[in-house]
């Protein structure tokens, strides 16, 4: 897999290897909905290469910030080249902040499982393989943890997938923003081969599948 640091100089090279984009599954609405009380809520989502996770959530109404970074692991090893070795314990992830008066956590979970991650894959998503590409939810409070557990259990019984759900619900062990060249990558590099093949179709599917949640403007940072 090519170094994504090299993309700053060679933007046409794919950082994450690419051959095809993932299928879209329309996950059901959550039976257990979230009761967010603050003016702003934040949670962490890991679902493969963080470019696509960030791209989709940045087009969801109510999302006010989406930051690519590394979840878990140690601060000292939270750099792309080190994390890419797959043995630091980090996951490529996105810290999402939203306005709960516009969108709820359970609705973000529905978007995540419908468009972003294949929850049956373990330590990989699409063409990207390694523990750093695992599918994981990192709730930041007890309410989010309650809703996440209930929704994963609901999906496990839904029959939408022939294989068991492998998405982990992980405790928060730190989040470290990724290098600046990874931030807002899809918005800054719409013609990049990886974005066009893997991530742009997910954003298009968000607009088609959940038009009430879609916004055309990309939320930066």
Residue found under tokens 């923003």: 177
- What are the pLDDT tens digits along the chain (221 aa)? 334 433 433 333 344 444 444 478 999 999 999 998 789 999 999 999 999 999 999 999 999 999 999 999 999 999 999 999 999 999 999 999 999 999 999 999 999 999 999 999 999 998 999 999 999 999 999 999 999 999 999 999 999 999 999 999 999 999 999 999 999 999 999 999 999 999 999 999 999 999 999 999 999 88
Give the number of other CB atoms < 10 A from CB of residue 75.
10
Catalytic entry in 49, 53, 121, 205: 49
Instruction: Spell out the domains of the chain, with CATH numbers in brackets.
Output: 39-209 (3.30.1060.10)
Strands across the sheet containing 91-98: 168-169, 135-138, 41-47, 91-98, 63-71, 175-177
- 16 is known as an active-site residue: no
pTM score, whole prediction: 0.91
Report which secondary-structure segment, H or E, holds 207: helix 200-209
Alpha helix (H) residue ranges in 61-159: 80-83, 105-111, 142-156
């Amino acid at each position: 897999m090519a170094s994504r640091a090299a993309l700053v100089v060679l933007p046409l090279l794919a950082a994450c290897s690419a051959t095809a984009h993932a299928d879209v599954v329309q996950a059901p609405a959550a039976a257990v909905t979230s009761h967010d009380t603050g003016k702003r809520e934040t949670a962490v989502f890991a679902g493969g290469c963080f470019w696509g996770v960030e791209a989709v959530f940045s087009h969801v109404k109510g999302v006010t910030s989406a930051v690519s970074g590394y979840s878990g692991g140690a601060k000292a090893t939270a750099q792309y080249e080190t994390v890419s070795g797959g043995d630091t314990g980090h996951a490529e992830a996105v810290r999402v902040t939203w306005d709960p008066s516009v969108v709820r956590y359970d609705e973000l979970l529905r978007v995540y499982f419908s468009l972003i991650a294949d929850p049956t894959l373990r330590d990989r998503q699409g063409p990207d393989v390694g523990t750093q590409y695992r599918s994981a939810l990192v709730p930041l409070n007890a309410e989010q943890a309650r809703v996440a557990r209930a929704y994963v259990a609901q999906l496990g019984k839904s029959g939408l997938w022939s294989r068991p759900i492998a998405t982990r619900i992980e405790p928060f062990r730190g989040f470290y923003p990724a290098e600046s060249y990874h931030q807002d990558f899809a918005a800054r590099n719409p013609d990049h081969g990886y974005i066009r093949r893997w991530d742009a179709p997910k954003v298009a599917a968000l607009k088609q599948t959940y038009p009430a949640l879609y916004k055309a403007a990309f939320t930066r940072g």
